[in-house]
Amino acid sequence: MRTLIVAPNWIGDAVMSQPLLALLRAQQAGAPIHALCPPHIAPVYRAMPEVDAVIESPNVHGKLDLAGRWRLARSLRAARYARAVVLPNSAKSALVPWLAGIPLRIGYRGEARRLMLNRMHEDRRQGAERPPMVDHYAALAFEPGRAPDGPVADPRLTIDPALAHAARERLALPAGAPLFALCPGAEFGPAKRWPARHFAGLADLLRAAWPEAEVVALGGPRDRPIGDEIAAQSRARVRNLCGDTTLAEAMALLSSAAGVASNDSGLMHVTAAFDRPMVALFGSSDPRHTPPRSRHARVEWLHLDCSPCFERECPLGHLDCLNRIEPARAMRALRAALAG
């Protein structure tokens, strides 16, 4: 039974789908699993041993582009997929498997998808009792209404250590020096971003504790200004690599990092999936719903009366949920993560 996974548009969501793929592989040992995803998500699925092929297409999300989706569907017909598992909730994401004539099309009830999906699950993420996102995806491996037999495994990614060595070499990072990564971005909005001055303060504490260490800021091009702020405000040397690496290179560096401090972001989930020591900083979002699932991760969340609000910007204007997490507190959490 050949399976097509229609991937989400966010790095973190892609990481959290890995246990689903492991369940599908366990149910059908040896049956190929292909991932259809936007190019910027592809490195995540290439780091999943369950994925036999990654199909990159800009038509997975974004504008409707019926002609483009029709061409994509026609190209998929030759693979004769037996089932498609559609992870996003949009109608557009379900359109291609339907047009491709895939017999079994699985997903959650979403916007105008009744005709395009024929095994539909109820989305229970609304309200106070949100299931963990990993469990939300994993449920798609079973019949609607049936729960997994036991706890869902944590997401895990694998990567060739040579890629980490090559990334360090290209970026002139000493191979033998401990690497601490700061991940200051959060695509969703400012309400998920620990202040740059706090990242800078943490960098100072890291260099004081490990003078031989390399401290870098990792993220995409949009995170470059935040990385510049951290580098300018820190008394220690911080290399701002935001926008200077590909996602594959950033993943490779995180896979070999001595420690990581991250907002609730895609790179947080990548770090957890590599089981690296990390402190994860939560503000407007909820670590009970999207936690970093690793025994080496420590979460700092104040759980104020106003948090989680799930807003892009602080509706009260003070961002106390993150401002009040001091660098020293984050450092203690990271030390605890390093101690195991």
pLDDT of residue 324: 97
Cα–Cα distance for residue pair 292/271, rounded to 1 Å? 8
Q: Which CATH architecture has domain 3-141?
A: 3-Layer(aba) Sandwich (3.40)
pLDDT of residue 129: 66
Residue spans of the domains in the chain: they are 3-141, 161-339
Cα–Cα distance for residue pair 313/173, rounded to 1 Å? 35
pLDDT of residue 271: 98
Place of tokens 């229970």: 124
Taking a C-beta distance cutoff of 8 angstroms, is the pair 34, 113 a contact? no
Q: What is the pLDDT of residues 29-63, one digit of tens each?
A: 889 999 999 999 999 999 999 999 999 987 666 67
Phi, psi of 45 (to 5 degrees): -70, -25
Same CATH topology for 3-141 and 161-339?
yes
Taking a C-beta distance cutoff of 8 angstroms, is the pair 203, 211 a contact? no
Q: What is the pLDDT of residues 273-325, one digit of tens each?
A: 999 999 999 999 999 999 999 999 999 999 999 999 989 999 998 999 999 99
Tell me the CATH class for 161-339.
alpha beta
Q: Which residues of the chain have pLDDT under 50?
A: none
Cα–Cα distance for residue pair 195/191, rounded to 1 Å? 10
The residue among 280, 90, 61, 299 whose CA lies nearest residue 182 is: 280
pLDDT of residue 61: 62
How big is the CA angle at 62 (ends 4 and 273), to the nearest 5 degrees?
A: 55
